[in-house]
Amino acid sequence: MKVSLFITCLADLFYPEVGQATVELLERLGCEVDFPVAQTCCGQPAFNSGYHREAKKAARHMIETFAHADYVVAPSGSCTAMLKEYVHLFSGEDEWEWQEKARALAEKCYELTQFLTEILGVEDVNATLPAKATYHRSCHMTRLLGVKDAPMKLLANVKGLSLAELPCAHDCCGFGGTFSVKMAPISQQMVDEKVVHIEETDAEVLIGADCGCLMHMGGRIRRQGKPIRVMHIAQVLQSGLEKEGS
Amino acid sequence: MGIQFGDVVFYRRVDKGIRDQFMRSAVRAAQERMRTSRLRAAEELGDWEEWRRLGEEIRRHTLEHLDYYLEQLSDRVHALGGHVFFAQTAEEATSYIRDVVQKRDARRIVKSKSMVTEEISLNDVLEAIGCRVVETDLGEYILQVDDHDPPSHIVGPSVHKDRERIRRVFAEKLGYTGSAEPEEMTAFVRQQLRPDFLTAEVGITGCNFAVAESGTVCLVTNEGNGRLVTSLPPVHIAVMGMERIVPTWEELEVMVGLLCRSAVGQKLTSYINCLTGPKAAGDVDGPEEFHLVIIDNGRSDILGTEFQSVLQCIRCGACLNVCPVYRHIGGQAYGSIYSGPIGAVLSPLLGGEDLYRELPYASSLCAACTEACPVNIPLHDLLIRHRQKTAEEKRQSPLGERLAMKAFGMVAESPRLYRWGTKLARTALLPWEEDGVIRQGPGPLQPWTSIRDLPSPERETFREWFENRRKRGERP
Ligand code: SF4
């Protein structure tokens, strides 16, 4: 199966290891992985801040970049939700052409764990991670994209991993893109509360499926000097197998 | 009071909220209680999504035919011997009510359940002509006694106070000597209010829903006072926002069910009061005179715009009860009687975009509110829409932000600029790097690193790794 990767800008610049794990994981599961080099950013920062003209620039570019892909897979719930949002972004009367193209893109976009379970039909990727962990279900992934169970199914089959339920898992971590800097004091209260809940689980590892949330929570955890490791779910699913893939 | 209260800038109110540990723990406890019971009540109903869709459909249909239903409602109320007044503005509404009160030579007024009378500052107007206006809902009563503290929640206005604080207020202002037990304090308030109920010449209430086909005003309350306010005084004035209407009793049932479950997690509240016209010959109780004041105050301007769905709101407060931002800053930080996510959408529309420009940014767009709303209002989308108005239509967002977004647009459509930008970021940040992180970033990174570490950009970006791998021949 041919898969075109969308490695989000945060993963590209700050977490290349997340992209690498994604590539290795997909290849290990028999996919032919392509990375269209023209890709940039999904446009979320502009869209959520109300700059829709700029968001449309990003959208048109991404639509064209992935026009020939069979499947577009991204290791991010939030950015995948944004790719699907393009359909609504082009809602003007003279934009129906772009809307059609946006719809075509939306139909072939998948968040990584969603792709694994729904398209590849895999729930056990044969990974091993002996650790106690907890999972942060990010808001856009669960509420906007509607992907709730896929990560859980996959994590349940990771050998050695014991997964503790995160108290108040439904609460936002306080990232929210530009919110995290524009409303830093509120964002801080939210993330501090989240860190308290994570600590309550006694987890050594915090797992998530969105680099944005992980960068925010991980950054706060580091600032507070807490001994909690932060991992993207792609890395977890590739744990114990890194060498085999390449 | 009006929609706005106080004139402290938003950011200062946020700080005050965050520092108020007392308020925050009271709000947190209330949120937890209401959220869990809402979920339980929704579950009992069966297919919650189906009910929501039905609720949304009813509200939408009503809004799309608002003229028709308002006319029907008004005709019915007239036919029953009541008076109807359509008020375009807050002033029109308050002066009409003032006239009614003055004609009766009334001095004592009891009130129950009404956000919209707060919105039009009715109490101030009536007090200015020498009336004594007593709020009879426990929450509002507490605020009134506590030197007119502004409300912090649209269903439980004094949710930011815990029992002990309430006991202190009662002790200081009313000489209360009992304990902080809710039952004891409620009994005390009842005693305080009894003479007011018996002597009041006018009773004023809000209206949760008005049934167009029968001309009925429906009040949903948790206390019995709503009934007393509408039946003891000889005059009853009901005040409603023009959108609070349902076509028939059938839709009323659905909406009341959704309201009670969403608001406090009850199947039905203890009291649902339905009033149809003034006392008729042979009725044992009910007011001699009934007025229905229907308020526009900016609502019709919202009709037909992309914000129309906000008028579907039934003021259940479910969106507040799940909002983490609301939890940490408290309702009063919003500076509006409408707080939380719905307040952040509604206040700029009713109270002025300039006054409430920051509110739509006080959200992480986590969409918990949208998920909780029983009538499917896409609250987080509407917040983005507000931001869009500020940024694109009014060009009132900060210049730095506008420039940054312009640059973003250029980079986003040019792979070359994008590549160059990531390379530049990496080199530019090098001097600040320490142990693989940036603890104190320069310029625009400051707000981020003020509370969090930033991972320093990797030496090899993902795309470089991917290309190098291909070059090394590891992959075709
Ligand atoms: S917006 Fe929805 S959830 Fe919030 S108060 Fe209105 S009806 Fe309730």
Give the pairing type, strands B245-246 and B209-211.
parallel
Which of B351, B345, B439 lies closest to B384, judged by CA?
Answer: B345
Q: How far apart are the first and last CA of chain B?
A: 71
CB-based contacts of A199: which residues, under 8 Å, 6+ apart?
A226, A228
Helix, coil or strand: residue A48? helix
Ligand 1 centre to CA of B310 (Å) is 9
pLDDT digits (tens, 9 = 90+) for A115-165: 999 999 999 999 999 999 999 999 999 999 999 999 999 999 999 999 999
Ligand 1 centre to CA of B317 (Å) is 5
Q: How far is CA B208 from the centre of its chain?
A: 14
A43-A45-A49-A52 Cα dihedral, nearest 10 degrees? -10
Cα A218 from Cα A223, distance rounded (Å): 8
Q: Is B369 annotated as a binding residue?
A: yes
Q: Is B218 annotated as a binding residue?
A: no
Q: Phi, psi at residue B136, to the nearest 5°? A: -110, -5
Q: Which atom of ligand 1 is found nearest the CA of B369?
A: 3
Cα B283 from Cα B440, distance rounded (Å): 75
pLDDT digits (tens, 9 = 90+) for A48-93: 999 999 999 999 999 999 999 999 999 999 999 999 999 999 988 8
Per-block mean pLDDT, blocks of 10 residues, chain B (476 long)? 81 89 88 85 82 94 96 96 97 97 95 90 96 93 93 90 92 94 92 92 95 94 82 93 96 92 72 86 85 97 96 96 95 95 97 92 97 96 96 87 90 90 84 86 87 88 91 71
Residue B401 to residue A49, Cβ atoms within 8 A: yes
Residue A181 to residue B447, Cβ atoms within 8 A: yes
Work out the minimum CA distance from B89 to partner chain A, whole angstroms. 31
Tokens 């580091």, residue? A222
Least confident of A149-158, A194-203, A236-245, B91-100: A236-245
Res. A5: pLDDT tops 70: yes
Q: Three-state SS string across chain B, please? A: CCCECCCCCHHHHHHHHHHCHHHHHHHHHHHHHHHHHHHHHHHHCCCHHHHHHHHHHHHHHHHHCHHHHHHHHHHHHHHCCCEEEEECCHHHHHHHHHHHHHHCCCCEEEEECCCHHHHCCHHHHHHHCCCEEEECCHHHHHHHHCCCCCCCCCCCCCCCCCHHHHHHHHHHHHCCCCCCCHHHHHHHHHHHHHHHHHHCCEEEECCCEEECCCCEEEEEECCCHHHHHHHCCCEEEEEEECCCEECCHHHHHHHHHHHHHHHHCCCCCCEEEEEECCCCCCCCCCCCEEEEEEECCCHHHHCCCCCHHHHHCCCCCHHHHHCHHHHHHCHHHHCECCCHHHHHHHHHHHHCCCCCCCHHHCCCCCCHHHHHCCCCCCHHHHHHHHHHHHHHHCCCCCHHHHHHHHHHHHHHCCHHHHHHHHHHHHHHHHHHEECCEECCCCHHHHHHHCCCCEECCCCCCHHHHHHHHHHCCCCC
Q: Which residue in the set B361, B455, B465 is minimally distant from A20, CB to CB? A: B465
What separation in angstroms does the CA of A116 have from each of A73, A125, B238? 10, 9, 58
Q: Which of residues 86-145 of A touch B (CB under 8 A)?
A: 139-140, 143-144
Q: Which of residues 84-123 of B touch A (CB under 8 A)?
A: none
The DSSP 8-state label assigned to residue A40 in this structure reads -
Q: What is the CA radius of gyration of chain B?
A: 26
- In this structure, the residues whose C-beta lies within 6 A of any atom of ligand 1 are B 262, 313-319, 342, 372-375, 377, 379
Residue A176 to residue B458, Cβ atoms within 8 A: no
Helix, coil or strand: residue A71? strand
pLDDT of residue A245: 41
Q: Atom 4 of ligand 1 has which residue's CA nearest to it?
A: B319
Q: Is B131 annotated as a binding residue?
A: no
pLDDT of residue B267: 64
A230 touches chain B (CB under 8 A): no
Residue B324 to residue A171, Cβ atoms within 8 A: yes
Q: Three-state SS string across B238-290, please? A: EEEECCCEECCHHHHHHHHHHHHHHHHCCCCCCEEEEEECCCCCCCCCCCCEE
Q: Which of residues 7-26 of A touch B (CB under 8 A)?
A: 7, 9, 11-20, 23
Residue A60 to residue B413, Cβ atoms within 8 A: yes
Q: What is the CA radius of gyration of chain A?
A: 18
Q: Which residue in the set A37, A54, A222 is minimally distant from B405, CB to CB? A: A54
CB-based contacts of B294: which residues, under 8 Å, 6+ apart?
B70, B73, B74, B84, B85, B86, B87, B240, B241, B242
Q: Is B316 annotated as a binding residue?
A: yes
Tell me the pTM. Answer: 0.94
The proportion of chain A whose per-residue pLDDT surpasses 70, expressed as a percent, equals 98
pLDDT of residue B2: 80
Q: How many CB atoms lie within 10 A of CB A146?
A: 10
Task: Read off the tokens for B344.
Answer: 């952040």
pLDDT of residue B141: 93
Ligand 1 centre to CA of B314 (Å) is 6
ipTM of the assembly? 0.94
Give the pairing type, strands B433-434 and B289-295.
unpaired
pLDDT of residue A243: 54
B366 touches chain A (CB under 8 A): yes
Q: Is the CA virtual torsion A211, A214, A216, A218 positive or negative? A: negative
Q: What average pLDDT does this structure show over A28-39?
A: 95
Q: Which of residues 279-298 of B touch A (CB under 8 A)?
A: none
